[in-house]
Structure 1
Amino acid sequence: MEQEDQASIIIDDGGEILDTGSESDASSSSSVPKPDCFSAFTRNGMMKIGEESKDYRLIKNQFLTGMKQLANDTSVVAIHKNICSTLYMQARFNAFKSCVHAVRERRRDRNFKYGWYGASKQEILHIISNGFSRCNGQSHGVGVYLSTSKFILEMFPSTIEDENGLRHTLFCYVEMGKMELIRAGSKQIYPSSVEFDSGVDNLEDPSRLVVWSAYMNSCILPICILSFKAPSFSIVSLREQINEVRPGGEMLSCAALFPILVKVFGPAKGDMICKSLDDYRKCKINRVQMIQSLKRIIGSDPMLMSVLKASRGKLAVRAPNRSGGSRGNN
């Protein structure tokens, strides 16, 4: 089997599972301050690894590559490694080792993948402390879905900003065994036969790894928590679409901006955004009121606000109505 293009953290060249902690990691991490925002990770048995370490660089590069068009707007803030420092972590680590050995005995080979699991900070803490407890996907069977390194962007919508504006994802080692193709719309909840162990959406180039609930705490081992800052996908989508239809950096009219807003936010919010921008153009509201109105509609993300404010000039007409016509000026 062709292994993924990334250095193994817990599996050596011979396929043997190594201890997840090391003195070199500990020494590189000890000189790095532990911000309060990460204290929950360290209290639950995770160890921050230094930015100068090889593991940090490899994981960071793999993550940013998988983020594709969001990479330039994404910054990796910290990586915490699972060093199996608690009895429960050690028990799950031993269960995972047993699973790997069982698959090897049964299949005469191993089939591992690196998988990324996006969730809220609280869910990630729960998984680290207690293990996986829910199926997070059902488009290709009902199971635990992890994104492969090439398709990290697909798990991004599952991440949720915490109180510090950070998002978090679990970087996991997944023992897949023999994979079967799961068709879109399938309601499968376990292997279709004893011949298979797990599922994927594409046998040649999978983007989703599907682990059935019965095996989620034996076939998946969280290796690291990667914490990062990134804009919402809608911000980047909005900015890219605006750039596509704005030649030479020209400002957009509401009529030109409206279809883009509808595509990104839906017709209701798109209509409200254009009305707010148009009211500002007509001096019905001042700049502060316009910004407050936009925040109520779409939130207060500074990057999204800057994109809209940069496009608010020269608003020639109001937004078209739902039937495709244009509203006249009051």
Structure 2
Amino acid sequence: MEREDQVSIIIDEGGEILDAGSETDSSSSSSSVPKPDCFDAFTRNGMMRIGEESKEHRVIKKQFLTGMNQLAKDTSVVTIHRNICSTMYMKARFEAFKSCVDAVRERRGDRNVKCGWYGASKQEILHIISFGFSRCNGQSHGVGVYLSTSKFILETFPSTIEDENGLRHMLLCYVEMGKMELIRAGSKQIYPSSVEFDSGVDNLENPSRLVVWSAYMNSFILPIYIVSFKAPSFSIDSLREQINEVRTGGEKLSIAVLLPMLVKVFGPAKGDMISKSLDDHRKCKINRDQMIQSLKRIIGNDRMLISVIKASRGNLAVRAPNREGGSGGNN
């Protein structure tokens, strides 16, 4: 693992968990920040806005924009809020996380805390910081809570939803991974495969996804920051236009052509899920109605997209591309 992806943390008696050597600044003056009531829900739920001039803000902003890759130049960080563990529930979750870190250190000889990014709607993020995680958001590499590593933040971008002020939000969490195991694409795993492991990744050498099992989601994951930002969207309408261009140009619309477009809009995780659903239907593991229901769960009720994907199933040529540039598949 790259050293920069390791999180050096200090846990103090005051209930704070910080990057070693970071500065805190609760200054809220900023000309680029919308009206304060845009973020009242965050501050009411135990989050504190950190000042733009602080080292803490600069480090997180740089990490976020670097992970947004090609979207970075069109993305602006509006504000960052920090968990100050001020509510009873936040303190309880902090204690659970601290106990988890201590247990891993005692069992494994050292902790293995990493940064994990989680994208969702503003409402879901509020629920998470108030009450904790309540659902698994991924199933392409086992069923669990998926967080993106810092180099692959863009992969969680499709999970974000614009709020009433045109802002999107991501959680930056500390994640105790313990001993990680490789989870193959298409796995139905919901627990560690043995007591030897604690969590999963899609690639042991260069993971893009951290997989935390549901039984551990509120002890292994501690939300620390909310990054609120503005960014361009890969919209469904944009995808329709690309599909129509391919049709108009006379190119055969196979799944090999369609998948990169779908990955742009929905992200690699959902691309894997779409590909697996088509593959399962082709292999007669599921019937047509089950495939349609699966696609609706993944991409919603967009009839055009569903009909195009269904029409492509006979030309299923490749699985969603993996990190190494080859084709993935069940193992």
Q: TM-score, normalised by structure 2?
A: 0.68
Describe the SS at the equivalent of 2:56. Answer: helix
1:28 is matched with 27
Q: Once the 2 structures are TM-superposed, how far is the Cα of residue 175 of structure 1 from its aligned partner?
A: 0.3
Residue 143 (structure 1) aligned with residue 140 (structure 2): no
1:131-151 residue CA offsets vs partner (Å, 9 max, x unmatched): 000000000000000000000
1:124/1:170 contact within 8 Å kept: yes
Q: Once the 2 structures are TM-superposed, how far is the Cα of residue 73 of structure 1 from its aligned partner?
A: 1.0
CA distance in 2, matches of 1:7, 1:109: 12
1:217-274 residue CA offsets vs partner (Å, 9 max, x unmatched): 0000001000011111249987xx8xxxxxxxxxx9x9569999x9658xxxxxxxxx
Residue 172 (structure 1) aligned with residue 173 (structure 2): yes
2:4 is matched with 4
2:145/2:212 contact within 8 Å kept: yes
1:7/1:58 contact within 8 Å kept: no
Indicate how the Cα distance of structure 1 residues 24 and 31 shifts in structure 2: closer, same or farther if over 3 A, else same: farther
CA distance in 2, matches of 1:257, 1:73: 33
1:112 is matched with 113
Residue 96 (structure 1) aligned with residue 93 (structure 2): no
1:178/1:197 contact within 8 Å kept: yes
Indicate how the Cα distance of structure 1 residues 87 and 96 shifts in structure 2: closer, same or farther if over 3 A, else same: same
CA distance in 1, matches of 2:56, 2:203: 29
CA distance in 2, matches of 1:39, 1:121: 12
CA distance in 1, matches of 2:177, 2:248: 50
Q: Which runs of structure 2 are paired with 1:200-279 in the superposition (5 Å)?
A: 200-234=201-235
2:280 is matched with none
CA distance in 1, matches of 2:42, 2:205: 36
Q: Once the 2 structures are TM-superposed, how far is the Cα of residue 109 of structure 1 from its aligned partner?
A: 1.1
Unaligned runs of 5+ in 2: 263-301, 303-310, 312-331
1:29/1:47 contact within 8 Å kept: no
Q: Larger C-alpha radius of gyration, 1 or 2?
A: 1
Q: Once the 2 structures are TM-superposed, how far is the Cα of residue 126 of structure 1 from its aligned partner?
A: 0.1
Residue 62 (structure 1) aligned with residue 63 (structure 2): yes
1:283 is matched with none
Unaligned runs of 5+ in 1: 242-251, 266-297, 299-321, 323-330
2:321 is matched with none
CA distance in 2, matches of 1:23, 1:204: 28
Q: CA RMSD in A?
A: 3.4
AA aligned to 2:174 is: Y
Q: Which runs of structure 2 are paired with 1:264-303 in the superposition (5 Å)?
A: none
Q: Once the 2 structures are TM-superposed, how far is the Cα of residue 110 of structure 1 from its aligned partner?
A: 1.1
Q: Once the 2 structures are TM-superposed, how far is the Cα of residue 5 of structure 1 from its aligned partner?
A: 4.9
CA distance in 1, matches of 2:251, 2:80: 40
CA distance in 1, matches of 2:90, 2:206: 31
CA distance in 2, matches of 1:6, 1:236: 39
CA distance in 2, matches of 1:142, 1:237: 30
1:171/1:225 contact within 8 Å kept: yes
Q: Once the 2 structures are TM-superposed, how far is the Cα of residue 36 of structure 1 from its aligned partner?
A: 1.2
1:192 is matched with 193
1:76/1:229 contact within 8 Å kept: yes
2:83 is matched with 82
Indicate how the Cα distance of structure 1 residues 7 and 199 shifts in structure 2: closer, same or farther if over 3 A, else same: closer
1:171/1:224 contact within 8 Å kept: yes
CA distance in 2, matches of 1:5, 1:195: 23
AA aligned to 1:196 is: F
2:273 is matched with none
1:4/1:113 contact within 8 Å kept: no
AA aligned to 1:47 is: M
Counterpart pick for 1:19 among 7, 16, 21: 16
Q: Once the 2 structures are TM-superposed, how far is the Cα of residue 29 of structure 1 from its aligned partner?
A: 3.6
Describe the SS at the equivalent of 2:3. Answer: coil
1:6/1:58 contact within 8 Å kept: no
Q: TM-score, normalised by structure 1?
A: 0.68
CA distance in 2, matches of 1:167, 1:87: 27
